[in-house]
Amino acid sequence: MRQKIVNADSDEGQLVGEGIVEAVENQLKDNDPPEVKNTLKRLMKIGESRENAMRFIASVLSVEIFGVIKNNQPFNEKRYVNNLKQLPKLPFDDE
């Protein structure tokens, strides 16, 4: 049985989290951007489970989505890819 990736405290949070994971799954399926698949493989190679690696990637995507909403700016793929390359260090670890 596959482990649940999202375990939110509220129904709304669960739906949002599952939506972000679904977006990551779509990026993997479409290989767009290819860095998502590379990051998943890299994280699993260093010992992360697929579920945990997906949590890392979803966290990076959620940071980018939050930035889009908060700053009313377009999705910044360059920043997203750069943050993927930094995993398992999360973008907000320096704050």
Over residues 73-92, the pLDDT tens digits come to: 999 999 999 999 999 999 87
Cα within 13 Å of Cα(59), Cβ side: 19
Gap between the Cα atoms of 72 and 85, Å rounded:
25
Write the pLDDT tens digit of every residue in 21-73.
999 999 999 999 999 999 999 999 999 999 999 999 999 999 999 989 999 99
Is residue 2 pLDDT above 80, yes or no?
no
SS (H, E, C) 9-51: CCHHHHHHHHHHHHHHHHHHHHCCCHHHHHHHHHHHHCCCCHH
C-beta of residue 75 within 8 angstroms of C-beta of residue 32 = no
pTM: 0.87
C-beta of residue 18 within 8 angstroms of C-beta of residue 6 = yes
